[in-house]
Structure 1
Amino acid sequence: MQELLGHRRTTRRGGAGSSDDFNKYRSKTVKAADLFVCALQHEGVEVAFGVPGEENIDLIDAFRRSTIRLVITRHEQTAAFMAATFGRLTGRAGVCFATLGPGALNLTTPAAYALLGGMPLVMVTGQRKILSSREGHFQSVDVIATMTPLTKASRRITNGDGIPSLVRDAFRVAERERPGPVHLELPEDVAAETVDALPLLARSESVSPIAASEMIDQAADLIVKADAPLLMVGASASRPGLSEALSDFVRRVRIPFFNTQMGKGAVSCASDLYMGTAALTERDYVHRAIDDADLIVAIGHDTVEKPPFIMDARRSKVLHVGHIPAAVEEVYFPAAELVGDIGRNLRLLADRVEGKLPRADALLHLREDILARVANRADESRFPLTPQRIVHDVRKAMPKDGIVCLDNGIYKIWFARNYRTDVANTLLLDNALATMGAGLPSAMAAAMVHPERHVLAVCGDGGFMMNAQDLETAIRLGINLVVLIIRDDGYGMIRWKQAVEGLPEFGATFGNPDFDLLAKAHGASGTSVVDADGLVPALVTAFQSGGVHVVTVPVDYSENLTVLVDELCNDNGVRSR
């Protein structure tokens, strides 16, 4: 079906021509499912994740005749989390698929994950026949309506002739700023119909505009006049390929910076200007610098993240530098905005202010004490291990370009505060939807995108068990992956919140399986850490051995109160949130 593609092309990740397996189909007509998969190839798709069903068997069969690698997962959530992480790491939309009804509904949490997290994703669901059906309303759910508030667009394909334009537009919408998920529904009778072999539409690569000169002048004036400026690196600053421009801006202006949880690594934490991470909304040690700043330059901040600070109109001003205009909220209302291509706008801004900022380092004297307090007790030898020691040992075991993928739990705050990143997108966490169950699938996708790197999934025992069945998928894929389970036999975040509010602990504990045996039952290796010095060698051995390994470590979460409540309360006068 060479005529479908118009011409031979190179896939976006450097593969061979995308139409090779379709060349034998040279008729003037083709099944709509084949046209759909050929359109995916034309977009450069090399892998698709999903679960088969009766209503998408023609789509599955079309994948069989394509160059796209089909990854069958054990749950639709895993498929979509993996595809979203592909989008997060590459900047190009990942692809997942499911059948109708219950299969489609299992994509709703990952859809919200990608929407709030700004991850490009194309989700394809099946549906019963729409022209006629002898099954009544069996398994019938209005998936279009369900997905509409969870996606950038949700559309049904009603005839095969519309496939080229609908697929092209789905990828265009998913990948443009702000990136996110797009849903396409392909009913089984539409997928099976015969259509003309239509030419596909060429990809159009868009370039973000730069801000007007007067806006750059206004931003420069704010920075030059500031007595205590501070940079904040947010979630949208972690886009692929943006790290170099950000780092260059920091080097040129020499203003201290901190990052939000999802902005970690966009500028190296090894910089002598790094002030820490805002893992809490207020009253952490880094907030000493935030509270003293009279201007915060918020680069790539997205208000879907839990607020890194609460704005006070009577004190600091905020300059918003983003791909898109700021979302004005009760806690975020910038005084000025610089909208467009972040990298190019920062370069133009640096041209205006470089060498003109005698007070750029006004807050830098706070740095040493902030970082020392955050790292306090990181090498304690008590067992079970403290969260600080776990983060310390993981950092020791991971190379600089190793990727750590966090599930969601109280340990995420400790990794956000304490884990130092030197390379962009090497600490993947979700501080937007903050869903449990995404850590393992995210790490599996990262291991596929970067097979040359060490990849570690860090999960609480609660979050791990939500998608533990896909250990089998990881083994079947033949990837190298280490999974660290932090065990406290309960929902640690909820226990902490109950303690902060003065409530008795209730309804947040559970039992656990033997994780070593669970790993071995799936075909992986399982190891439990039994002493204070056992975590680093367990991780190192697991990485050296290759394959899939599960390492379990018990945690002493009394530090949640000792540090995150009592110490911050004593030092700052109020409780942290």
Structure 2
Amino acid sequence: MIKGSDLFVRALENEGVTRIFGVPGEENLDFVESLRNSSIELVVTRHEQSAAFMAATHGRLTGRPGVCLSTLGPGALNLATGAAYAHLGAMPMILITGQKAIKSSQQARFQIVDMVATMKPHTKFSRQIVSTTSIPTIVREAFRVATEERPGPVHLELPEDVAGDMGPDVPLVPPHLIELPIATPAALDRVAEMVRQASRPLVMVGAAASRPRLGAYLGDFLARTRIPFFTTQMGKGVVADHPEGQPIDLWVGTAALSERDYVHEAIDRADLILSIGHDTVEKPPFLMGPGGPTVIHVGFTAANVEEVYFPHASVIGDIGPNLSMLADRLQGQLPNGSALLPLRDDILRQVMEGSDDDRFPLIPQRIVADVRKVMPDDGIVALDNGMYKIWFARNYRTPLSNTLLLDNALATMGAGLPSAMMAAINHPGRQVLAVCGDGGFMMNSQELETAVRLGLNLVVLIIEDKAYGMIRWKQAVDKFPDFGMTFGNPDFIAYAESYGASGSRVETCEEFESVLQSAFDRGGVHVVVVPVDYSENTRVLIDQLQSRVLAGGVANNGD
């Protein structure tokens, strides 16, 4: 005989789980005791939402489900944002929540929320465990569903009486590799011919290409075809901008906006776009319409047909092998493959304008440029959500794949610090930087204590404007009065030190780079605060780009 919680933990070990992130409650106590006697580390966070963000980022970085834990009701509800973050972002994750006993109701309805129903819209499936004998099969199914394309979160509810029940020691279900199908030769031949016939082809790399195993395939495909490429925001950093040992300078930019930006000069001139891994959960990188380019969708699954995205042909199946087989058909047969490449230098020159501006407070372009100087090629930057995310998406170069983590699906504030913490746990030998606005940072700032307790080496860059900057910018663009967007901040240096971290404030433009470098050299958890001048949001992203449209630089396809 075996206790239900012991069997559950053994099933998790069987899946290769080494850490669980979360905040336990009394309904989890049997489960926590089983963890104590297992090989799995319990990482206690200061809020359940952060635990979910960390588990989701583990899934994104490794391709294996991260696991998070909460109690029932109020704790479980705090996981909901993280579940949606993983669901829209296609990150494999398992959420485990507690519940009151289901065989009796001695506490009536106290704290009880129907979390199975609550989690259904935010997960791939949501299920309550009602018997110990079903635990091995349910856990195996949860990991299979979470991992298979399209990856995402799965919710399991473990009631306290089921966790504490004794039952037969049923065998575990061994995991096995699930092979993905590949496209048919006919589909590959048809698409290859369409690419060969194109006069100005362009590759777009999107969110679904961010699976950890795909970087080498993408780099090889681009090197063999020599077709220039751009990325969506979540495709940023999926493949190196200039991979070592391969032909360089094929990257023409990132579509941080849906239209009118400098990269759209290449997009609007393309007569064919090979869209690799685009997921329409993202803000559109370009808007399809009458007279636009032919679009070929290369994806694990068929494209969702949307008003702004309706591909003309598809290559469906395992993206990596499909790209290799497509490259076999295209290598050396694309006389027009690099036709749009001459646009690259002028696009990037205009995008990078302002990178050496020395005004203070710093403008976003200078912040991005100095961060790039400090970060080594394998350094990881994890972005929260705010106006700076657009500037990093446009301006930050990624010499190696998967070194810039951003969310353009749920695009929730508060995820930057937990995401960076997970990157630091997974890659303890690499420099990791969390980039947060002052608004987003304060939403989960309590996790500084967790980072210090875990002994992480992590720098947190707080970009301070004392406002919800992106919404304030949009408010101004829409010509509404400036109202309801500003706030005060604590002394961030004293705040960091109260958790046992270190802190620095940037006082001049010239010292920013050295302050950031010193924070990394010091080690441990270090907060760096830099004031920002967001006037560039309007000058560049509205006035300057709009003037190009009026001058005929980029077609205006609507807002």
Q: Give TM class, smaller chain.
A: over 0.9
CA contact (8 A) 1:295 1:317 kept: yes
Structure 2: give runs of 5+ residues left out of the alignment. Answer: 243-247, 551-555
Corresponding residue number in structure 2 for 1:414: 391
Corresponding residue number in structure 2 for 1:68: 40
2:113 aligned with 1:141, yes or no? yes
2:324 aligned with 1:352, yes or no? no
Q: How does 1:469-480 map to 2 (within 5 A)?
A: 469-480=446-457
1:193 maps to amino acid: D
Deviation at 1:320, TM superposition (A): 0.3
Of residues 201, 219, 225, the one that matches 1:247 is: 219
Corresponding residue number in structure 1 for 2:249: 272
CA deviations 1:90-122 (Å, max 9, x no partner) are 000000010000000001000000000010000
Corresponding residue number in structure 2 for 1:228: 200
Q: How does 1:41-440 map to 2 (within 5 A)?
A: 41-270=13-242, 271-440=248-417
Tell me the SS of whatever aligns to 2:533: coil
Of residues 443, 457, 470, the one that matches 1:466 is: 443
Deviation at 1:373, TM superposition (A): 0.2
Deviation at 1:147, TM superposition (A): 0.2
Q: 2: distance between equivalents of 1:266 and 1:45?
A: 25
1:419 maps to amino acid: Y
Of residues 39, 55, 58, the one that matches 2:11 is: 39
CA contact (8 A) 1:238 1:424 kept: no
Deviation at 1:576, TM superposition (A): 9.2
CA contact (8 A) 2:239 2:402 kept: no
Q: 1: distance between equivalents of 2:493 and 2:470?
A: 24
Q: 1: distance between equivalents of 2:163 and 2:510?
A: 57
Q: Identity of aligned pairs, percent? A: 63
Q: 2: distance between equivalents of 1:304 and 1:82?
A: 21
Structure 1: give runs of 5+ residues left out of the alignment. Answer: 1-28
CA contact (8 A) 1:281 1:576 kept: no
Q: 2: distance between equivalents of 1:102 and 1:278?
A: 39
CA contact (8 A) 1:568 1:575 kept: no
Corresponding residue number in structure 2 for 1:572: 549
Tell me the SS of whatever aligns to 1:258: strand
Q: 2: distance between equivalents of 1:266 and 1:464?
A: 25
CA deviations 1:43-62 (Å, max 9, x no partner) are 00000001010111111111
Q: 1: distance between equivalents of 2:518 and 2:66?
A: 32
Deviation at 1:313, TM superposition (A): 3.5
CA contact (8 A) 2:287 2:557 kept: no
CA deviations 1:117-169 (Å, max 9, x no partner) are 01000000000011102111000100000000100000000001100000000
CA deviations 1:363-396 (Å, max 9, x no partner) are 1121111000000011110000000000001001
2:518 aligned with 1:549, yes or no? no
2:514 aligned with 1:537, yes or no? yes
CA contact (8 A) 1:564 1:576 kept: no
Deviation at 1:266, TM superposition (A): 2.1
Q: 2: distance between equivalents of 1:471 and 1:315?
A: 48
What RMSD over aligned residues (CA atoms) do the two structures have, in Å? Answer: 1.0
Deviation at 1:575, TM superposition (A): 10
CA deviations 1:213-240 (Å, max 9, x no partner) are 1100111011011111000001111111
CA deviations 1:35-75 (Å, max 9, x no partner) are 00010000000000010101111111110000001100000
Q: 2: distance between equivalents of 1:406 and 1:559?
A: 19
> TM-score, structure 2 length as denominator?
0.97
Deviation at 1:315, TM superposition (A): 2.1
Tell me the SS of whatever aligns to 1:463: helix
Q: How does 1:469-548 map to 2 (within 5 A)?
A: 469-548=446-525
CA contact (8 A) 1:565 1:576 kept: no
CA contact (8 A) 2:288 2:308 kept: yes
Q: 2: distance between equivalents of 1:313 and 1:238?
A: 30
Q: 2: distance between equivalents of 1:257 and 1:310?
A: 17
Question: After alignment, is 483-492 or 232-241 more displaced?
Answer: 232-241
1:66 maps to amino acid: S
CA deviations 1:293-329 (Å, max 9, x no partner) are 1100000110001000001242201000011111111
Corresponding residue number in structure 1 for 2:245: none
Q: 2: distance between equivalents of 1:81 and 1:178?
A: 18
Deviation at 1:267, TM superposition (A): 2.1
Tell me the SS of whatever aligns to 1:261: coil
2:4 maps to amino acid: A
Corresponding residue number in structure 2 for 1:13: none
1:548 maps to amino acid: V
CA deviations 1:423-447 (Å, max 9, x no partner) are 1111000000000000000000000
Deviation at 1:81, TM superposition (A): 0.3
Deviation at 1:336, TM superposition (A): 0.5
Q: 1: distance between equivalents of 2:507 and 2:68?
A: 40
